[in-house]
Structure 1
């Protein structure tokens, strides 16, 4: 892969400048003529993540460069964590450049999903968040779903410009770009991809036949997502790998659902109704009485209530409460950013309290499904 300004000056995996002086700093390579840094080598061959990452301010400085270019901006978002993966103030960073929203990981949705309905939902949500996009595409870079649609949109809006790919961490930017590289170029290397956030650390430029570039940018790190604050081991458990299997619970008021020891859902008041949970199939859900919830959590966190383990619990912020009200005759989701969402199915309203580690985003939104 040709990385500007010359082939071996910058890592072809994450984009940082290569150096041989300090193994503890970014860009270290143990030998001459290496094309990827030691950090990317370990990610690629051993799925091992380094603790070396960029601060959020550094990511934003890099992203602000996009507004100084004449380009098409490909904004990748994660359908599993739509609101959590949106970039706040994206228009401020990209200036007058047109934005195409590519909604990735649709393979994680339940198999019987109507994608036209999902498309309409995404467009409505994007408008409500003030995202002025010229088009929206649903895809799965991993499963090659909707990829032809991505190509058609790029062809329609690019008009000879560079393509800047932007998004939050771990939304699948590099996976999507690698599909472009594998299927539509003669390049013999790929970007470094990993399930762990912060893999790409600088601009990585992939040359196109007409002399322009696809530019992969670092992901913005949002600590309001559960995926950013848990351990590597637990990240594997809460990140879905397969289509979600909705789990439906009929609850009476003053009943509680625990999602491992990562979140707690209290149905405080309302008529008996059902709640549908869309979270990774690997996360254990436990139902109990609200009156017993505090004691159960203290006695079983990290054991029956897991993930996380007792050891990993020590690194998480303490729970904080979010009181939510579901109005009558409204279909709403409770999104716990990075963990999933709970669809509220009743017609008579509900009073809820959601407990999550401090700082994690919890919102009410129009039901996706």
Structure 2
């Protein structure tokens, strides 16, 4: 039996197979480390040399154990979600594990929202959705890891709510949690020296503890894989294509009843009944949208999925889930939200349907714009 090799930074067992998993290090780095006696996992190496935190995914069971520990702590919980994939980035059952600890709900990636969207409407919607799943955040805020002023405001908010306690930062994978923490580290010097970045003692298998100036810690936890994220079904190239990098530019499509829009090959919007109207799509600027007849849309999809309609690309991740249909009767200006992809604004009354990969939510909300 091969003897286990452990990272001297966090104590986790070193492995060279799973790049996304805990304890990963490339073979070349492992060989060099064994020669010098300093074997680090890639996560600890990048933290030690570049002050760079990388997100890693853990199993549901491991995450459950981590959440149980958070409930026993006296801390502020900062729950980072992706405002573009709110449903897909909620942690199932989080409210049962936080105990009496306050929760600061942080919507990341605000920089990609259209400027016409009022931030107050977005935070109110986030609060309502959180309440629906039993989470009672002390405050809801929006931020962007790309904006210094946003990071400084977030740090001040954390300082206000933590009340001299530790801070746990939690989130599912792909919400930008580690990018946000790296931005906090890089910008912390300007905010009352809240975080010292010179040393990172206490790095452990399941979390990274970043010392605060008062002896407490900002604790980065691994991300849990949410099975109902659109990102879960996409390869890296496609994920980059559908994840907006800059402000979304809305596109208007004049549709008659009996017409369909395909959002790449990932989702479908049917206009079933109602007067001709201009539907507005809010998705990544790089995602191709195709208009076709509703009566032949299914055949069109079967013929062109993975070709004309992409992403997803053929053979990149194996079998792509079937699209599941959700029908809605709309009475007023409404957003039809495709979790992890964006939304279509329906300006007037009518009957519509949204299709998304099995397990991915399609929901309606009162229009935010």
TM-score by length of 2: 0.83
Mapped to 1, the partners of 2:65 and 2:81 lie a distance apart of 20
Structure 2 SS opposite 1:61: helix
Distance 1:60 1:40 in 2: 27
2:99 equivalent in structure 1: 95
Partner of 1:27: 23
Q: CA 1:9 to 1:229, structure 2 compared with 1: closer, same or farther past 3 Å?
A: same
Residues 84-163 of structure 1 mapped to structure 2, 5 A cutoff: 84-163=88-167
C-alpha distance 85-293 of structure 1, shift in aligned 2 (>3 A): same
How big is each residue's C-alpha offset from its partner over 1:320-344, in whole Å with a ceiling of 9 and x where there is no partner? 2222221x2x222111111111111
- Alignment partner of 2:97: what SS? helix
- The runs of at least 4 aligned residues of structure 1 exceeding 4 Å deviation read 38-41
The equivalent residue for 1:355 is 355
* Alpha-carbon distance, 1:256 to partner: 0.3
Alpha carbons of 1:322 and 1:307: their partners in 2 closer, same or farther (altered >3 Å)?
same
Aligned position for 1:203: 207
**How many aligned residue pairs are there?**
338
Unpaired runs of 5+ residues, structure 1, are: 1-6, 12-16, 191-199
Evaluate the alpha carbon distance shift between residue 127 and residue 27 of structure 1 in structure 2; reply closer, same or farther with a 3 A threshold: closer
SS in 2 for 1:243: coil
Question: Partner of 2:287: helix, strand, or coil?
Answer: coil
Residues 81-105 of structure 1: CA deviation (Å, up to 9, x unaligned): 1232222322211110011111111
Cα separation, 2, equivalents of 1:126 and 1:239:
23
Determine the structure 2 residue equivalent to 1:37.
Answer: 42
Seen in structure 2, the aligned counterparts of structure 1 residues 158 and 186 have a Cα distance that, compared at 3 Å, is closer
Deviations 1:259-306 (A, max 9, x none): 111111111111112221111111100001112212221222211111
Higher mean C-alpha displacement, 32-41 vs 269-278: 32-41
Q: Distance in 2 between matches of 1:273 and 1:64?
A: 50
Counterpart CA distance in 1 for 2:356 and 2:269 is 9
Gaps of 5+ in 2: 1-5, 189-194
The answer to whether the 8 A contact 1:201-1:217 is kept is: no
Is the Cα–Cα contact under 8 Å of residues 261 and 268 in structure 2 kept in the other structure? yes
Partner residue in 1 for 2:191 = none
Q: Distance in 2 between matches of 1:242 and 1:212?
A: 35
Q: Matched residues in 2 for 1:304 and 1:40: separation?
A: 42
Cα 1:23–1:186 shift into 2, 3 Å: same
The alignment status of 1:252 with 2:256, answered yes or no, reads yes
**CA 1:333 to 1:314, structure 2 compared with 1: closer, same or farther past 3 Å?**
same
Aligned to 2:79: 75
Residue 284 of structure 2 corresponds to which residue in structure 1? 280
* Equivalent residue number for residue 324 of structure 2: 320
User: 8 Å contact 1:139–1:145 — kept in the other structure?
Assistant: no
| CA RMSD in angstroms, aligned pairs only | 2.8
TM-score relative to the length of structure 1: 0.83
Q: Name the CA shift for 1:124/1:351 in 2 (closer, same or farther; >3 Å).
A: same
Alignment of 1:170-249 (within 5 A): 170-184=174-188, 185-188=195-198, 202-249=206-253
Indicate if the aligned counterparts of 2:196 and 2:213 stay in contact, CA closer than 8 A.
Answer: no
| SS of the residue 2:197 aligns to | coil
- The 1:116–1:322 alpha-carbon spacing in structure 2 relative to 1, beyond 3 Å, is closer
* Higher deviation after alignment, 349-358 or 244-253: 349-358
Alignment partner of 1:131: what SS?
coil
Q: 1:262 aligns with which of 266, 273, 276?
A: 266
1:250 Cα offset (Å): 1.4
